[in-house]
Amino acid sequence: MKQLSTLREMERFITPLTENGTSIGFVPTMGALHEGHLSLIRRAKAENQLTLCSVFVNPIQFNNPEDLAKYPRTLSTDAKMLEKVGCDVLFSPGAEELYPQGTTESLELDWGMLDKVMEGKFRPGHFKGVAIVVKKLFSITHPTRAYFGKKDYQQLAVIRRMVEQLRLPVTIIPCDTVREPDGLAMSSRNLRLTIAERQVAPVIYEVLCQVREKAGKIPVKDLREWAIRKIQEHPSIRVEYFEIGDKETLIPLENWSLKSRAVAFIAAFLGDVRLIDNLELF
């Protein structure tokens, strides 16, 4: 596996490949890789001639400096894992490579409600930071296809909207969430859970599954309240939001008239670890 860390190296490497029409599958990550990330790499590998993974902890998508400082950084283990699944290129630039002028860039797009609800509401500026870095990474790596996990459903919707509005020449491929055997969605943040918190964490997915069972049978508002109550039965979890929203606009549903579009979304704290998850309900 090739390891590149500067724009210049990447440009030199990628230009001949784009010129000869090599299909490039790109998986952007922030590292601390796990099976969830590797499933995206495997899919990219199956569908493209070259697979490229980036590891970059993007400072401008963290609205909480403490969260940024605590984000796990495990580049040498990440490289070994990528090598093992047959990734062709690891791109791990430093912040000065991607933000040579500092981090004050902006990107004005019509996000609709995408950056105002749920993650957008509770993490102001987060999606703008994500969109800026992904757009930059696309322009550096020239992917044919880029792979994003449904685990970050709202992020996927934001990226799709950006690609559509800027008419970027890349196909976005959504990939299913990979879970631990007990249902907990894999996340780099799980590493920070205490043993006791880790034992409680699967309740998030359990309740999402129960919500899927009840969806369409009781009013949306009642189901939402039920879910929050059910999770809060565990004193060590604090629900930040629980919403049932439209799969594209993410706008909260008021009834089940468009039920085939319904997705349940949750963000919850266990101690100071913030976990998110979601489930398509139909």
- Positions in the binding site for ligand AMP (CB under 6 A): 29-30, 36-37, 39-40, 148-149, 151-152, 175, 177-178, 185-188
Q: How far is the CB of 106 from ligand AMP (least distance, A)?
A: 21
Q: Which of 34, 37, 126, 234 is catalytic?
A: 37
Nearer to ligand AMP, 198 or 259 (CB): 198
| Backbone φ and ψ of 7, nearest 5° | -65, -40
Nearer to ligand AMP, 38 or 50 (CB): 38
- Cα separation, 239 vs 270, whole angstroms: 9
- Cα separation, 269 vs 181, whole angstroms: 21
- Cα separation, 60 vs 68, whole angstroms: 9
Nearer to ligand AMP, 114 or 185 (CB): 185
Q: What DSSP string describes 182-213?
A: TSPBP-GGGGGS-HHHHHHTTHHHHHHHHHHH
User: Structure tokens of 162?
Assistant: 């950006």
Nearer to ligand AMP, 12 or 80 (CB): 80
User: Structure tokens of 10?
Assistant: 């990447």
Q: How far is the CB of 129 from ligand AMP (least distance, A)?
A: 12
Annotation says 142 is catalytic: no
User: Structure tokens of 264?
Assistant: 């349940």
Q: How far is the CB of 42 from ligand AMP (least distance, A)?
A: 11
Q: How far is the CB of 119 from ligand AMP (least distance, A)?
A: 12
Sheet with 50-55, strands from edge to edge, namely 2-4, 89-91, 50-55, 24-29, 145-149, 171-175
Q: How far is the CB of 175 from ligand AMP (least distance, A)?
A: 6
- Nearest Cα residue to 30 out of 87, 70, 64, 85: 70
Nearer to ligand AMP, 72 or 216 (CB): 72
Residues 189-198: contacts with CB under 8 Å, at least 24 apart: 189/273, 189/274, 189/275, 190/273, 190/275, 191/32, 191/72, 192/70, 192/72, 192/273, 193/270, 193/271, 193/273, 194/271, 196/236, 197/236, 197/270, 197/271, 197/273
Residues marked as catalytic: 37
